[in-house]
Amino acid sequence: MTGVSLVLPCYNHAATLARAIAACIPQKGLTEILIVDDHSTDESLEVAYALAAKDHRIRVLQTERNLGPGGARNAGVREARGSHVSFLDTDDELLGCSFLEDALAMMADDPEMRVVKGEMEFFDPIKGYVLQSFDPRYPSVVLSSSCGMVMDRSAFLQIGGFSEDPVFRGPHGGEDVAFMEVLIRYLQPIGRIGRPCYRVWSQAGSHLDKFLANTRLKGGSFEFVRLHPDQLPEGPLAQGINAYLKAAAGRLSQATTVSY
């Protein structure tokens, strides 16, 4: 089915799920919304079913156990009916109504293009807008996030989806970084939409908040104030990312060989 399956991994976001869904509903090019409840312990599942009762495009899935964001996204894509997929965290929002449609049009115009990425904005309810586009940290954050993106579903499956390696279940995450690195290395050209299409709601203790607090600007770039042992160049996160890159490259190579 031509169109986008929007996958929302949900773990204990009952308070923000309705806001996220409301921002999805007006999107042109939308085939369905898949809320993947990742064994929430709050009322997320009940909220999800209530939202699904109001729109036939919303489907609710539940993982057999808590898988984390990467595993929940993988579960959603496996059940997706659309030709393309996109991801939205349940505490964030899509902006406007034409992001999905514009991304599909870009890929239709260029058969070699299998991924389109939109710009992002970052908003903290206390601090206001943070991480403006002129900040040298902005490109790094945008290109390390799998949100605000539309991707050919077959390409996602060829890669093997997100890594579910336990090394990425720690406080620093990393499955998004690994996934986006594969796209940047092996799935060029990546289309870009030059306007904010996705709003990240940051707050104290979020990944973005920690990143900003642990970096400082230096000339036209930035540097980390300190690195956790897990984040060192030879640490477990780097090893996990390298292992994922190698596995994904092998799967893509095999898929290309089979296609010929």
Tens of pLDDT along the chain (260 residues) come to 789 999 999 999 999 999 999 999 999 999 999 999 999 999 999 999 999 999 999 999 999 999 999 999 999 999 999 999 999 999 999 999 999 999 999 999 999 999 999 999 999 999 999 999 999 999 999 999 999 999 999 999 999 999 999 988 887 778 999 999 999 999 999 999 999 999 999 988 888 998 999 999 988 899 989 877 777 788 888 999 999 999 999 999 887 654 43
**Which residue from 193, 169, 177, 46 is spatially nearest to 106, judged by alpha carbons?**
193
Specify the pLDDT at position 257.
Answer: 53
Rounded CA Rg of the chain: 18
Token reading at 100? 């999905």
Dist CA 166 CA 42 (whole Å) = 24
What tokens does 243 get?
């292992």
* Structural tokens at position 106: 């870009």
Q: Which domains does the chain have, with CATH numbers?
A: 4-259 (3.90.550.10)
SS3 for 100? Answer: helix
Phi and psi torsions of 128, nearest 5°:
85, -155
| Phi (first) and psi of residue 256, to 5 degrees | -65, -40
AA letter at 182: V
pLDDT at res. 4: 98
Is residue 189 reached through a cis peptide bond, with omega within 30 degrees of 0 on the bond before it? yes
* pLDDT number for residue 256: 64
Task: Tell me how far the alpha carbon of residue 108 is from its chain's centroid.
Answer: 22
At 213, the amino acid letter reads A
Instruction: Determine contact, residues 205/124, Cβ cutoff 8 Å.
Output: no
Please report, for residues 14, 111, 161, the alpha-carbon distance to residue 254 in angstroms, rounded to integers and kept in the order given: 41, 20, 15
Enter the tokens of residue 195. Answer: 């306007």
pLDDT the model gives residue 169: 85
